[in-house]
Amino acid sequence: MRRALVVLLLAAVVLTGCRGGDSDAKPGAVALPAPLPSVELASFTGGEPVDLATLRGPMVVNLWASWCGPCRQEMPVLEKFAAAYDGRVEVVGVDYQDPQVDEARTLVRQTGVTYALLSDPDGELDRLGPFPHLRGLPFLAFVDADGQVVAWEFAVIEDVAELEALVHKHLGV
């Protein structure tokens, strides 16, 4: 009995990966739609800080970090989506709680990311406004034309068609 419990716990840890397993990290835990929070995040590329509350969609906000394997895998997919939907759906990436700034910059260069990038090294977005407790990455927020977060998901995007389906479902685009 004890051995079965240990095996079950190990399986749960392996299956959750970077995504975490927090019970309050489910859609519906935060009342949506809700406006993007008023918080200034630094530009990842050294430009002016951006107050998230001023952004309007339709937009996909992706929280990622260089230490997150699934995040690394999905960045080229997000770039392909951003290029294909340029002018129709914006993509904004947020390097979240990532102490490995040089590795993050290298990752951006290697993946060819050209969409807007911000930085949240202190984890200010955790539980702020419509954002849930961010215990795992990657994380996606879907923002409508009025700047309202209409949905969010802890998800690993494996291809452009998958992201297109989510954008259509949540933003109608």
* Cα–Cα distance, 39 to 127 (Å, whole number): 12
Cα 76 from Cα 82, distance rounded (Å): 10
Q: Which residues have a Cβ under 8 Å from the Cβ of 133 and sit 6 or more positions away?
A: 22, 24, 25, 126, 127
pLDDT in tens, the chain (173 residues): 444 333 333 333 233 345 433 334 444 456 899 999 999 999 998 999 999 999 999 999 999 999 999 999 999 999 999 999 999 999 999 999 999 999 999 999 999 999 999 999 999 999 999 999 998 999 999 999 999 999 999 999 999 999 999 999 999 99
pLDDT at res. 167: 98
Give rounded-to-5 percent helix, strand, coil for the chain. 35, 20, 45
What was the pLDDT predicted at 124?
A: 96
pLDDT of res. 18: 53
Domains and CATH numbers, the chain: 18-171 (3.40.30.10)
pLDDT at residue 22, as a whole number: 38
pLDDT at 24: 41
